């Protein structure tokens, strides 16, 4: 059974494996945990049988106007079971009071995020690929 928490308390590095699929230089489990700890909001999906984290979403925030959602991922074996949607639903319910809730995504995911009240926008970004692992 998959259960959801909105805290990283009790989540260890050993439970964070199988994420950042396809990233050439992925963050380590230790760095992943630090990302979650430093985030303003997290929602974590765990497989109660194994104890493993199977999906997560995080948001960073100025605490006044803005929340930004940098990462959402469900481990491949657990995708298409509604977990990503539940993570987003729970996160969006935490940020309803902010003026801006933003994220960047590929075009093919716009319909997915549209289900949570988001609308397409034009954005700009920098990616320093030599810093991708966060080390």
Site residues (vs ligand COA, CB under 6 A): 72-74, 79-85, 105, 108-109, 112
Q: Could you tell me which residues come within 8 angstroms of residue 68 by beta carbon, excluding any fewer than 6 positions away?
A: 59, 60, 61, 101, 102, 103
Of the pair 63, 111, the CB lying nearest ligand COA is at 111
Taking the complex as a whole, the smallest distance from the CB of residue 68 to ligand COA amounts, in Å, to 12
| Residue 118 C-beta: closest distance to ligand COA, Å | 11
Give me the least distance between CB of 51 and ligand COA, in Å please.
Answer: 19
Between 9 and 106, whose beta carbon lies closer to ligand COA?
Answer: 106
Residues 99, 118, 62: CA angle, nearest 5 degrees: 30
Residue nearest to ligand COA (CB): 84
**Of 13, 21, 16, nearest to 47 (Cα)?**
16
Residue 8: Cβ within 10 Å count:
20
């Amino acid at each position: 059974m998959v259960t959801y928490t909105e805290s990283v308390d009790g989540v260890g590095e050993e439970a964070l494996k199988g994420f950042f699929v396809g990233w050439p230089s992925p963050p380590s489990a230790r760095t992943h945990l630090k990302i979650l700890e430093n985030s303003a909001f997290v929602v974590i999906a765990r497989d109660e049988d194994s104890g493993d984290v199977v999906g997560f979403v995080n948001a960073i925030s100025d605490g006044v106007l803005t929340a930004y959602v940098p990462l959402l991922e469900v481990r491949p074996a657990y995708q298409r079971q509604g977990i990503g949607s539940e993570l987003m639903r729970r996160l969006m319910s935490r940020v309803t009071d902010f003026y801006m809730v933003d994220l960047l995504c590929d075009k093919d995911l716009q319909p997915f995020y549209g289900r949570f009240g988001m609308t397409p926008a034009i954005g700009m970004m920098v990616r320093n690929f030599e810093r991708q692992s966060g080390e």
